[in-house]
Amino acid sequence: MGFSLGSLLGGLRSGPDEASVNSVTLFVLLLCSCIVIGHLLEKNRWMTESVTALVIGLCSGIIILLTTEGKSSRLLLFNEEFFFIYLLPPIIFNAGFQVKKKQFFRNFITISLFGAVGSLISFVIIWLGTLQLFKSLDIGFLEVKDYLALGAIFSATDSVCTLQVLNQDETPLLYSLVFGEGVVNDATSVVLFNAIQKFDLSHISSTIAFQFVGNFLYLFLTSTFLGVAVGLLSAYVIKKLYFGRHSTDREVALMVLMAYLSYMVAELFDLSGILTVFFCGIVNSHYTWHNMTESSKVTTKHTFATFSFVAEIFIFLYVGMDALDIEKWNFVSKSPGKSVGVSAILLFLVLVGRAAFVFPLSFVSNLTRRSQSEKIGFKQQVTIWWAGLMRGAVSIALAYKQFTMSGHTQLPGNAVMITSTITVVLFTTVVGGLLTKPLIRMLLPQPKQSSSMLSSETSQKSLTVPLLANGQDSEADLGANHIPRPTSLRMLLARPSRSVHYYWRMFDDACMRPVFGGRGFVPPVLDSPKEDILH
């Protein structure tokens, strides 16, 4: 994925001669209103921030359409490279930074299975499905590669959407499965995209299959390694430079820049930037974060969350406004039925493709889980299937990458593909966004506590304990509010995975933390507020 910065920074271009301080101002204004309205609707059990932003984006698109008399609906041109280089990294990094690490690594095999094998199954189904079903609709010229690309585009679960509907505190297992799948997914789709470019996939031989697997493993391991390496480097540098005479700004700036660097380096070497920055986030939260001054800890934690929050709203606002772009709908308006047909087929294939791997792979995964309570129940499988259905900005960005030349849809076939992608994205995001929370509440009722109580309690807690312990509650809190607690018998049965964690802790304490810092391995600063409280 080598991007051109030229076109990338032209990403927000609204035409060389138009008044565009205008556009930025209006966009910032819309972001502000999204935040305020999102806050006011917070108590509403249906709306999520993403749906609010989408709706506001659509509304302002309509207003702009009316004021420009149908010429343009968007302030800014949707550019997939702007999205991949500026908006996606903070979101994924923050997810890695805030993820409950124990939960994530405990389910690592299942997550990899879903992310790698699962997306492959989904890819094949969507690819072959479109190849068959599009024949009946006469939709312009599509090459073999376009069908393969459709498979890759629509097999990708959108991690950003997942973050919006699943709550890490309410449903930690589902969250780590679906979100983790989305991250691993990215490596798969990079490999798929490369494979589409390189190999002649119409004749699959065992050699190609092996090459494919080898490629995936190489990419997965190098991306992970890069993320971990950059994370450790930043931990080491920040630990070494910590002499009390520290400047908070420098510390925070370095951490942010290093994290971003990991993503950019990964993109530079055609690795999976998402995977890299995710693992960089995990390492940062495990080591680097503990090496910082108390104010830096608070600052980084909230800064990453804020960056991610704003980027998410930005994306949905963007997609909402872009959806009304008149140019591509002009093509479609000549044959509306075709577009509806394509959207319906894609939606159907997405549903089927996801079902085709979630249930079988859950079954396989359950075989490895010995205790009954650790198995993924049917209701949970349904939720995983549903929550991963959403396609979002990643799909749109990939569709633009494949089907347009610099933001303009030239061939009718391509225009139909873009509008159908947008239709699918809008439909799944709005329906998924509105129904997922109620669905989870219906299928997986929380004993006693309502989820809204729980979440407000969580935010309360992060005000009370605060500034010191939070953001790092993974190890401490996990026992308290995660689904079923294993009894002592099950603990015995489940020993293997426990032992891996045990040996990791030994290694971590003996080798890693003394070098890279981490909780309890950084000498307490004498003038820290913690000390103030104690004395």
- How is the chain split among helix, strand and coil, in percent rounded to 5? 75, 0, 25
Size of the site for a copy of itself (CB under 8 A): 82
d(CA 146, CA 165): 31
Map the footprint of a copy of itself across residues 421-450, applying CB under 8 A: none
Among 68, 247, 333, 450, contact with a copy of itself (rule: CB under 8 A): 247
Minimum CB distance to a copy of itself, residue 26 (Å): 9
In the region spanning residues 151 to 180, those forming contacts with a copy of itself, defined by CB under 8 A, are none
Contact pick of 62, 221, 249, 503 for a copy of itself (by CB under 8 A)? 249
In which residue are the tokens 């999976």 written?
A: 272
Which of 211, 446, 497, 528 contacts a copy of itself by CB under 8 A?
Answer: 528
Which CB atom, from 253 or from 442, has the smaller least distance to a copy of itself? 253
* Residue choice 112, 167, 211, 303 for contact with a copy of itself (CB under 8 A): 303
The C-alpha atoms of residue 329 and residue 333 are separated, in whole angstroms, by 6
Neighbours of 348 (CB within 10 A): 13
DSSP labels, 421-460 = HHHHHHHHHHHHHHHHHHHHHHHSPPSSS-HHHHHHHHHH
Footprint on residues 346-385 left by a copy of itself (CB under 8 A): none
Q: Does 264 participate in binding a copy of itself (rule CB under 8 A)?
A: yes
End-to-end Cα separation, the chain, in angstroms:
54
- Identified binder of a copy of itself from the candidate list 55, 117, 195, 525, rule CB under 8 A: 525
14 versus 167: smaller Cβ distance to a copy of itself: 14
Q: Are the C-beta atoms of residues 169 and 481 closer than 8 Å to each other? A: yes
Residue 6 is a binding residue for a copy of itself (CB under 8 A): yes
The 9-38 site mask, x for binding a copy of itself (CB under 8 A), equals xxxxxxxxxxxxxxxxx--xx-xx--xx-x
- In whole angstroms, the minimum distance from the beta carbon of 40 to a copy of itself comes to 8
Return the residue of 245, 448, 480, 523 that touches a copy of itself, per CB under 8 A.
Answer: 245
| Span interacting with a copy of itself, options 7-15, 166-174, 319-327, 440-448, rule CB under 8 A | 7-15
Contacts of 52 (CB under 8 A, 6+ apart): 34, 37, 38, 41
Shortest Cβ 264–a copy of itself spacing (Å): 4
User: Least distance from C-beta 17 to a copy of itself, angstroms?
Assistant: 7
Q: Which of 44, 306, 372, 487 binds a copy of itself (CB under 8 A)?
A: 306
Q: Count of CB atoms within 10 A of residue 424's CB?
A: 26
Question: Please, which residues have CB within 8 angstroms of residue 411's CB and are 6 or more apart in sequence?
Answer: 140, 141
Which residues between 218 and 237 bind a copy of itself (CB under 8 A)? 237
* Binding positions for a copy of itself, 93-132, rule CB under 8 A: none
How many C-alpha atoms does 96 have within 13 Å on its Cβ side?
30
Establish if 66 lies at the interface with a copy of itself (CB under 8 A).
no
> 285 and 519 in contact (C-beta within 8 Å)?
no
Question: Considering the rule CB under 8 A, would residue 261 count as an interface residue with a copy of itself?
Answer: yes
For the chain, the maximum distance between any two Cα atoms, rounded to a whole number of angstroms, is 78
Report which secondary-structure segment, H or E, holds 300.
Answer: helix 294-322
SS3 405: strand
Which sign, positive or negative, has the C-alpha torsion 202, 340, 421, 163?
negative
**Residue 523 in contact with a copy of itself, rule: CB under 8 A:** no
Choice between 46 and 269, CB closer to a copy of itself: 269
Which of 67, 410, 456, 499 binds a copy of itself (CB under 8 A)? It is 456
Helix 21-40 × helix 294-322 angle, to 10°: 110
Q: Report, in Å, the least distance between residue 251 CB and a copy of itself.
A: 9
